[in-house]
Amino acid sequence: MPERTPADAEPFGELADGTVVHRHTLDNGRGLVVRVLTYGGILQSIEVPGRDGRPDNVVLGFADLDTYARDNTPYFGALIGRYANRIAGGRFTLDGRTYRLPVNNPPNSLHGGTEGFDKRVWTATDAGDSDTAGVELAYTSPDGEMGYPGTLAVQVRYSLTADNELRIDYRAATDAATHVNLTNHSYFNLAGEAAGSIEAHRLELFAGQFTPTDATNIPTGEIAPVAGTPFDFTWPHAIGERIEDDDEQLRFGQGYDHNYVLDRPSGGAGTLTPAARVEDPATGRVLEVLTSEPGIQLYSGNQLDGTLTGPGGAVYGRRAGLALETQHYPDTPNQPGFPTTMLRPAQVYRSATVYRFSVTG
């Protein structure tokens, strides 16, 4: 078994208040190298070899801290919380009390509000051992932050295995009833972050159903079959093959921006289950996603508009990256028919997602 390189930290930049942000480098010794920022728990880069053996960064990101810290950036690589995705009207009722959240995606609240977990500085500790390279991040969200009740203590561990897997383990505990839905918001381009559109990537989703939305991207409450619609990825095909079809749901999202209901075996709740497989035909790189979550959000980078540039200066145009956000369903606090995201003091929130990288011949 090859020697593993432990998490290596270096200063990455300084925020306006003087807080120093560090970057941790994880290397599994087999070609997979990941860089993690303490700001937002951001996966700044994931280097993976292609068919020709040449490594390339396969996630979108920025070269400097100032750009990450700007308002209205698209959550590149960030940890999302307290609540991933949208909550209708920026409010929910819990135990008879209504809580109001920042409306940062009018008329809804998105990804935890204006200063969610993606804008917080996390405390990092080395979490590697003889078999893995890893770093654990911790953040305590105070009661009332972004309108959410309860003090929430969160730990997120990034681990690299010898099998070229990046595993993310989430854990959270609260001192009062609240809602929690955590994810990572990396945008993948398996051809390389500077390669342009992901529409030629071949995608398979292990999901026969999805949750249609209204015009504001809030689920209607329906769980609908994907069969016979442009949302059917139960067999692998190019992401761009039907993305411009005349379909109301595609118009609402300006492409794919929808939650899929993962196929789970009976009694398999909370266990790692295949969620997605993506392949770039040009480089041979393959990404498989496994998760303990019940859903996955497919987002095809529809709002990227050429105003942002990557670490090497490449312009990120429309659909330059693909997000596969493992999660509970959007707006669950207001949707009694969806799997609950409620967390009470006697409970512990646990979730896991694995990104497995390989190459086809």
For the annotated catalytic residues, the residue numbers are 185, 325
Q: Calculate the alpha carbon distances from 328 to 26, 195, 307, 313 in Å.
A: 28, 31, 31, 35
The single-letter code of the amino acid at 227 is A
Cis previous bond, 265, omega within 30: no
Distance (Å, whole) CA 114 – CA 88: 15
The dihedrals phi and psi of 19, each to the nearest 5 degrees, come to -70, 130
The single-letter code of the amino acid at 69 is A
Check if the beta carbon of residue 240 is closer than 8 Å to that of residue 256. no
Token pair 């980078």 is found at 301
Write out the two tokens for 157: 């561990």
> What does the H/E/C string look like for 84-107?
CCEEHHHEEEECCEEEECCCCECC
Distance (Å, whole) CA 257 – CA 272: 23
CB atoms under 10 Å from CB of 109, counted, come to 27
Nearest to 61 by CA among 48, 49, 43: 43
Name 354's bridge partners.
167, 290
Is 251 exposed, middle or buried, given 0-12, 13-18 or 19+ CB atoms closer than 10 A? exposed
Distance (Å, whole) CA 246 – CA 295: 25
